[in-house]
Structure 1
């Protein structure tokens, strides 16, 4: 009986990985996963990673984040843009997306059981900010001079420009993540 339950759990987790990864890819291919802003594109493609981690645990979220990151590399190779030179590096595209699952799940676990809505919201916000800070931080650490050249800005201002992008994109992305993740996770848990 226990093996049957474990088998069902594995099948469910694989299905969740497949469905949420497909949502990431569809959001990327259709352009619906990107919200154009004046300085960069805000994304909601990280939300399936957060939802997967909160519903099924960090391993499921890690796999969805890996697929999100690999898709990001593919997308920047297939349709290059101003910053594609940075996004084809897995340290920029994959590592932060994988870390979304860990930070979302473990920050959620800090409050889970007491205030479920707050715990889910915290996980969503922290996961979203992990994506923003991780991607932009890696661009700054690895490609500050290239970023300045691509943007046509003074290299001395790169940190300020990236920090302003983080605030202008990161905070709205975190808010949207919270607003989408809470009702989705609560609804799926009720069905389960």
Structure 2
């Protein structure tokens, strides 16, 4: 029991944690490469590439989530270098593409762990929502702090409008992404936990 608790809090990785990091990181990368990591919505595209980070963190602890987020973030850098778009100049910076993705696992796990109420599904859902919003607002906040002028130029808008546009994107993308993260994470985590108990 103590060994399991130590692993969940991230003091070291066991073979199970390493396997989960590899498997969920691969899922995130495959979602990105295949295009299935993006769900078209009426006003935007919602990403689900961060959901493996959330699931890994809630199941195995924040350190596992941080490692999956690290790999997700590094993949974003590679994508920006190999298939650039108008915002690639920002995503090649690890402070934009890696740091917020590593924080997903931390916020998702500790929200889940300390959420009020005893209903497991609610706690998982709340952790998933906060983890998802960490991704959206974390990435866009770093873009605003580090590259507001470049963002405005790339979008063809005035510098004064950069914050409004960036956080408009955060709201338009962030809320649907959080809802999708909850809808996927809750049944997946509950199913895995149920299977482990059998």
**CA RMSD of the aligned region, Å?**
2.0
Q: Tell me what 1:83 maps to.
A: 87
Aligned mate of 1:121, from 117, 121, 125: 125
| Secondary structure of residue in 1 paired with 2:46 | strand
Deviations 1:59-103 (A, max 9, x none): 111110000000000000000001000000000000000000000
Matched, 1:26 2:30: yes
Partners of 1:39 and 1:165 within 8 A in 2:
no
> C-alpha displacement at 1:11, in angstroms?
1.3
> C-alpha displacement at 1:121, in angstroms?
0.4
Partners of 2:44 and 2:172 within 8 A in 1:
no
Call closer, same or farther: CA 1:61–1:170 in 2, change over 3 Å: same
Q: How many residues align?
A: 188
Deviations 1:6-54 (A, max 9, x none): 99x8111111111100001101111111235687643110000000000
Q: Tell me what 2:186 maps to.
A: 182
Matched, 1:49 2:41: no
Aligned mate of 2:177, from 159, 173, 177: 173
State how far apart, in whole Å, the 2-side matches of 1:120 and 1:76 are: 32
Deviations 1:139-187 (A, max 9, x none): 0000000000000011111111011101000000000000000000000
> Under a length normalisation based on structure 2, what TM-score does the superposition of the two structures give?
0.90
Partners of 1:132 and 1:170 within 8 A in 2:
yes
> Under a length normalisation based on structure 1, what TM-score does the superposition of the two structures give?
0.92
Deviations 1:97-147 (A, max 9, x none): 000000000000012771211100000000000000100000000000000
| Secondary structure of residue in 2 paired with 1:119 | helix
| Secondary structure of residue in 1 paired with 2:14 | helix
Structure 2: gaps (5+ residues): 8-12
Structure 1: gaps (5+ residues): none
Q: Tell me what 2:64 maps to.
A: 60
| Secondary structure of residue in 2 paired with 1:42 | strand
